[in-house]
C-alpha cells in the first residue's frame, strides 16, 4: 500500500431520499453495535496488508449487489435450496472477496450477534477500503436487511459490462435511478484494482487496433497478456493501489484499460466527457462526487424494517 496518510473528506448529505430510503441512517447502529466501523476497518486493514486488491474486491461486491434488485446482500448467496446464485452470471465471473466478508461477519457476530446485515457490511467495507487507500470518507447510510432471494437473470441482464458503449452503460445506470455523473464517478473506482486480460484484450488486435488506446500502452499490454488471458493487469498503470483522480487523467491520455472506461472520454458529444475533465482537474471534486454517488447507489431499493433478515452466514439463508 502507499505510505501516505489518507485525508478524510466527510460529506454532508440529506437523509430524506424517498420513503424507503429515509429509513436508512448513518447512526443506525449507534446503540446496537457502536463499534461497527472500527471492527470493519480492522478486518479490511488486515486484508490490505497482505492483498493490495482487497479494497477493490470489496467495492466490486457492493456494486454488483446494488445493481441487482438493490443493495440486499444477494450477490453473496451461493447455490442452496430455493436459491439459484447470482454468481453464475457472466458479470460475476471471478468476483472475489467473500473470505474478507466472512471475516468481517465473524468479528461482528462476536461483538454484536444478529445485528449487522451482510448488505450493510458491504457498504461499510467499501468506504473503509476507499479511505484506507487514500480516498474520501462519506457518511454511509445504514439499516439495510438481507434478502431471502437471489436473481440470476437480473445479474445477467443488469450488470454493466466492460464491453459496452456509453449508451448501454447509461441505460443500465438509468434503470437503477443513477445518472451520468454517477456513472463517471463510480467508474472512478477503477483507480485501484486489477483486470484480467480477457476483459480488454480484444482492444489489442494488431490488424484492427483500437484508436482510443494509446499505441505504446497497447504494446505494453500485449506483452503482459502474452502470458495468458487470465493474466491480471493494473486498472490504473500510474498509481495502481491508490485511490486518486489518476483514472481520469489516464482516460484523457487514452490509457483507459477497459473499453467501458475509455468510452466515457472518447465518445464524441457524450456528457460524460465533460465530467471526466472536471474530475481530472480536481481530485476534491471527484472525491465529493464519488461519495455522493456511493450513497446514491447504496440507496437502491434497500430492504428495511421487517423485510428480509439479518443473515448469520452471509453466504446462506438463515
Mean pLDDT by 10 residues, the chain (318 residues): 43 40 86 98 97 96 98 98 96 94 98 98 98 97 98 97 97 98 98 96 92 96 96 96 97 98 98 98 98 98 96 98
194 falls within a domain: yes
Instruction: Please identify, among 138, 159, 180, the residue that sits at the C-terminal boundary of a domain.
Output: 159
Q: Where are the beta strands (DSSP E) in the chain?
A: 10-11, 137-138, 194-196, 232-234
Element holding 106 (H helix, E strand): helix 98-111
Cβ atoms of residues 190 and 288 within 8 Å = no
**Domain's final residue, options 126, 159, 192:** 159
Residue 155 sits in the same domain as residue 198: no
> What is the tens place of the pLDDT at every residue in 280-294?
999 999 999 999 999
Q: Say if residue 253 carries a ligand binding annotation.
A: no
65 is in an annotated binding site: yes
222 three-class SS = helix
Residues 6+ away with beta carbon under 8 Å from 277: 248, 252
User: Do 105 and 82 belong together in one domain?
Assistant: yes
Residue 236 assigned ligand-binding role = yes
Residue 22: the pLDDT is 47
Enclosing domain of residue 57: 35-159
62 is catalytic: no
Domain boundary among 159, 176, 193: 159
Domain membership of residue 84 (yes or no) is yes
The phi, psi pair for 308, rounded to 5°, reads: 65, -150
Domain count across the chain: 2
Question: Grid coordinates standing for 66?
Answer: 446494488
The CA distance from 4 to 260, in Å, is: 30
Rounded distance between C-alpha atoms, residue 55 and residue 130, angstroms: 7
CB count, 10 Å around CB of 191? 27
Handedness of CA 149, 91, 183, 138 (dihedral sign): positive
* The pLDDT of residue 255: 98
The reply to whether 153 and 41 lie within a common domain is yes
Q: What is the reported pLDDT for 169?
A: 98
Same domain, 263 and 287: yes
CATH number at residue 69: 1.10.520.10
Verify that 138 and 231 share a domain, yes or no.
no
> What is the Cα–Cα distance from 41 to 21, expressed in whole angstroms?
25
91 and 74 in a common domain: yes
Looking at the fold, whether 284 and 188 belong to one and the same domain comes out as: yes
Establish if 170 belongs to a structural domain: yes
Query: What does the pLDDT look like over 158-171, one tens digit per residue?
Result: 999 999 999 999 99
Catalytic residue, chosen from 64, 170, 203, 245, is 64
- 3-state class (DSSP) for residue 127: helix
User: Are the CB atoms for 131 and 6 separated by under 8 Å?
Assistant: yes
- Is residue 155 located within the same domain as residue 256? no
- Answer whether residue 23 is part of any domain: no
Confidence at residue 23, expressed as pLDDT on a 0 to 100 scale: 83
Angle at 189 between CA 205 and CA 140, to 5 degrees: 160
What does the pLDDT read at residue 209? Answer: 87
Tell whether residue 191 is among the known ligand binding residues.
yes
Q: Is 240 annotated as a binding residue?
A: no
**Residue 263 sits in the same domain as residue 200:** yes
Q: pLDDT at position 28, please?
A: 97
Neighbours of 280 (CB within 10 A): 20
Q: What's the CA gap between 33 and 214, in Å, rounded? A: 49
CATH number of the domain that residue 217 is part of: 1.10.420.10
In a domain, 230, yes or no: yes
**pLDDT value, residue 5:** 42
- The C-alpha cell that represents 122 in the structure block: 458491504
Judge if 173 and 252 occupy the same domain: yes
246 and 137 part of one domain:
no
The answer to whether residue 62 is domain-embedded is yes
Instruction: With respect to residue 20, please indicate whether it lies within any of the assigned structural domains.
Output: no
Amino acid at each position: 500500500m502507499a505510505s501516505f496518510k489518507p485525508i478524510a473528506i466527510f460529506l454532508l448529505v440529506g437523509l430524506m431520499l424517498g420513503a424507503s430510503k429515509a429509513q436508512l441512517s448513518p447512526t443506525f447502529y449507534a446503540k446496537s453495535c457502536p463499534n461497527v466501523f472500527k471492527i470493519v476497518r480492522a478486518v479490511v486493514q488486515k486484508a490490505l496488508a497482505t492483498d493490495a486488491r482487497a479494497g477493490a474486491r470489496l467495492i466490486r461486491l457492493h456494486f454488483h449487489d446494488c445493481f441487482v434488485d438493490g443493495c440486499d446482500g444477494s450477490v453473496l448467496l451461493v447455490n442452496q435450496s430455493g436459491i439459484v446464485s447470482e454468481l453464475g452470471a457472466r458479470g460475476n465471473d471471478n468476483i472475489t472477496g467473500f473470505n474478507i466478508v466472512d471475516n468481517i461477519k465473524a468479528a461482528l457476530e462476536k461483538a454484536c450477534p444478529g445485528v449487522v446485515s451482510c448488505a450493510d457490511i458491504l457498504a461499510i467495507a467499501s468506504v473503509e477500503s476507499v479511505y484506507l487507500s487514500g480516498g474520501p470518507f462519506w457518511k454511509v447510510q445504514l439499516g439495510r436487511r438481507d434478502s431471502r432471494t437471489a436473481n440470476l437473470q437480473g445479474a445477467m441482464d443488469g450488470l454493466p459490462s466492460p464491453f459496452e458503449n456509453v449508451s448501454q452503460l447509461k441505460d443500465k445506470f438509468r434503470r437503477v435511478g443513477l445518472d451520468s455523473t454517477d456513472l463517471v464517478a463510480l467508474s472512478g473506482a477503477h483507480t485501484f484494482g486489477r483486470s484480467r486480460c480477457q476483459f480488454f484484450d480484444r482492444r489489442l488486435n494488431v490488424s484492427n487496433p483500437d484508436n482510443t488506446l494509446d499505441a505504446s500502452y497497447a504494446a505494453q499490454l500485449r506483452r503482459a497478456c502474452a502470458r495468458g488471458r487470465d493474466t491480471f493487469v493494473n486498472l490504473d498503470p500510474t498509481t495502481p493501489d491508490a485511490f486518486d483522480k489518476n483514472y481520469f487523467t489516464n482516460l484523457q491520455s487514452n490509457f483507459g484499460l477497459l473499453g467501458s472506461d475509455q468510452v466515457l472520454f472518447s465518445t464524441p458529444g457524450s456528457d460524460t466527457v465533460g465530467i471526466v475533465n472536471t474530475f481530472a482537474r480536481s481530485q476534491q471534486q471527484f472525491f465529493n462526487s464519488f461519495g455522493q454517488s456511493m450513497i446514491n447507489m447504496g440507496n437502491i431499493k434497500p430492504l428495511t424494517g421487517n423485510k428480509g433478515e439479518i443473515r448469520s452466514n452471509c453466504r446462506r439463508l438463515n
